[in-house]
Amino acid sequence: MITTLSPADSFFFFSESQTQHQHVMGIILLDPSTAPGHFDVGTLIAQSEELVDEAPGFRLKFVDSPAAMNVPMVAEDPNFNFRNHIHHIALPAPGNLEQLSELVADIASRPLNHDIPLWENWYVSGLEGGLIAIVSKSHHSMSDGVSGAETMAKMFDLEPDPPAREGKGKSIVKHSSAKEPSTLEIVQTAFKARRKSPSTVSTVSKAVRGLIRRREVSTACEHPELLPGNTMLGPRVFFKGQISSLRSVAMGALSLGELKALTNAFGVTLNDAVLAVVAIAVRRYLQEHDDLPEEALSCLVPISLALNEVGSDMRDQEAANQTHTMNVKFPVQIEDPVELVQTLHQCSTASKQRFNDTYDNIMLTVVDTLPPSLAAPAMSFMTGEFSARFPVSNLGVSNIPGPNFPLYMRGARVVGNYPMGPIPNGIGLGITMMSYLDEIYYTVQGCREKTPDIHRLSEFMQEAMAELREAA
């Protein structure tokens, strides 16, 4: 059966390029010492093979459509082979988090193979303490951060020695009965998808009304200086501009309890406290490169529509991605940490209010309105050279809620959970966070040519936490 991608999911298909990879990743650390009996990488691979059917996207691959139609579609791969998606690598023991980060950067620098289902798992042994890492990678058109967290919860157990799953102990990866879709099926599916799309007049009209409303709300705001400009452009800094295909990565963790204490001390939200830590760290990173601007940066912040009432009437329930983004003024020019936190809270509140009042997505309007033969080059232009010259923001920060209960796989306890999203062309720096138990785990990712010393930003985040604790 052929399925067409929603406009939200098609965006990640159309905007992918040789330098702008559109995959999301997760790095899970497991402690085998908690597992009863023998536990190694082979155990993990066998467990993963048993659970492939937990998520239908494991078998889906892109369908080649006629060039004139170019409608993004997926179908079950009739030649699906689990082993094509599995890799095992050992770090020189005892491998530390920095070495694992370098490996993750190399994995992130390579696009997924579009000829097979769009995911792969890397199993990493040789880590200090006997830990084993699972580095997963899947295409963003198949999931967002929240749905990825939900899938992760399904793949793991809630106790060290749970009741046996149905089929546990043997592979449940069934032989596929699917067939390669015929050209006629592909063309028919593409035509049906176009007939379902709203008219060009209605969608363009809606987009124009949204832009007008956005300007009206910005003008009427009690403190318009708290909002990024309508052009959404931030000052030029060293990590902004055209990116390459290569990535640099650093990983770390922040205490969730300490962040919650900061929210109480400063009277701000948890997300504001997280953004403040990043803002102080980025400020120090820019200072170290002698590139601190005199004005605020612009920060791209994803918002989950699945977790917010905002835009709920505009959600595509069948879309894998239920996110939109807002831009927040990022006051890195402020030195005093208390003033920075309060200003950032005001800027975040103002941006969220503007988002509430003007929710719309111009990119998705382009994808949904234009014929696919035009949408593809339009998106390529908007997210390619144009985006490199006129990037929407300076950096991106994503904070995803994760499980607050321990997870296990075959008895091995999850002791680390680091998420990672793509970085858009023109921005070149992204921080992705996810909570797990009493920590918020994060990855900082950049274009390798622009941020070869990305580990310094991670170190500055730890220092920023200490600075905010002292200020509180």
Minimum mean pLDDT range among 35-44, 327-336, 400-409: 35-44
pLDDT interval class at 187 (50, 70, 90): low
Name the pairing type of β-strands 2-4 and 408-409.
Answer: unpaired
Three-class secondary structure of residue 431 per DSSP? strand
* pLDDT for residue 67: 54
Q: Higher pLDDT residue, 89 or 315?
A: 89
Which of 252, 291, 271, 262 minimizes the C-alpha distance to 459? 252
In 10 A of CB 300, how many CB atoms?
Answer: 24
The answer to whether residues 22 and 8 touch, using CB atoms and an 8 Å cutoff, is no
Q: Of 259, 258, 238, 289, which is closest to residue 446 (Cα–Cα)?
A: 238
Does the pLDDT at position 55 exceed 70? no
Q: Which residues contact 199 (CB under 8 A, 6 or more apart)?
A: none
CA distance 346 to 353: 11
pLDDT classification of 171: cutoffs 50, 70, 90? very low
Query: Lowest-confidence range among 190-194, 196-200, 276-280, 351-355?
Result: 196-200
Judge whether 435 and 414 are in contact, CB under 8 Å: no
Above pLDDT 70, what percent of the chain?
70
pTM score of the predicted model: 0.85
Best CA proximity match to 322, nearest among 336, 332, 310: 310
Q: How far are the Cα atoms of 131, 246, 453 from residue 456, in angstroms, in the given order?
A: 25, 18, 6
CB–CB of 154/131 below 8 Å?
no
Whole-number pLDDT of residue 390 = 74
For the chain, report the end-to-end CA distance as a whole number of angstroms: 57
pLDDT in tens, 56-65: 678 888 887 7
Cα-to-chain-centroid distance, residue 133: 19
- The rounded distance, in Å, linking the Cα atoms of 187 and 107 is 35
Q: What is the pLDDT of residue 310?
A: 47
> In Å, how far from its chain's centre is CA 356?
22
Phi then psi for residue 264, to 5 deg, are -70, -40
